[in-house]
Amino acid sequence: MSKNDEINIYLVRHGEAGKSWDEDLDPGLSDKGKEQSRRLVSQLENDFALLNFKAISSPLARAQETAIPLQEKHGFDIEIYKTFAEIPSPGIEIGQRSAWLREMFNVKISDLESPQEKWRSSIVQSIQDISGDTIIFSHFMVINCVVGWINNFDNLVGFYPDNCSITKIIKRNGELELTQLGNELSTVIQ
């Protein structure tokens, strides 16, 4: 376990994607996203000097690519967890995904459909099961699931993490505490 019997969990939203959610099912990073991911190295330098992190990534390219500069600097392995992939949108055609996602911003947790409810429950369980300092490279909606669960939000979305924002959580005696919200978007996703 970490110093002082605390477990540090860092949720990093991926850098800017090269294409929108309704253009490509799995886009990599844009040039701006690659630069954002390179800046993470210096933003997390002190944390990595003090802690021994396990690294986890969503299987999606933009999340894995965000981890690369930090991985190259510190030489850690990255485990891929399907649990931390973006919100499932079964039956939604690619060109309709952005409109569907905007609608999800106002959905209450109690009104989630089965695929999204299972996805959210899996994320919450996985976060509860973390047993050592961990950094997770993931997505807007995943981070919202975790933050919303910790803060008992009624809606699925209550926080607008920016690209490459870092949200920090401490786990003490099995209890999770949100210690830092990542930087928020200056404009809401449209």
Number of domains in the chain: 1
Instruction: Out of 29-38, 43-52, 106-115, pick the least confident.
Output: 43-52
**190 lies in some domain:** no
Distance CA 52, CA 7 (A): 10
pTM of the entire predicted model:
0.92
CATH at residue 109: 3.40.50.1240
**11 lies in some domain:** yes
Question: Is the confidence at residue 51, as pLDDT, over 90?
Answer: no
What is the domain range of residue 128? 3-180
Identify the pLDDT of residue 78: 94
**35 lies in some domain:** yes
Dump pLDDT digits (tens) for 95-121: 898 899 989 999 999 999 999 999 999
List of residues 6+ apart from 54 with CB closer than 8 A: 76, 79, 132, 133, 134, 135
Identify the pLDDT of residue 48: 79
Pairing of strands 166-172, 6-13: antiparallel
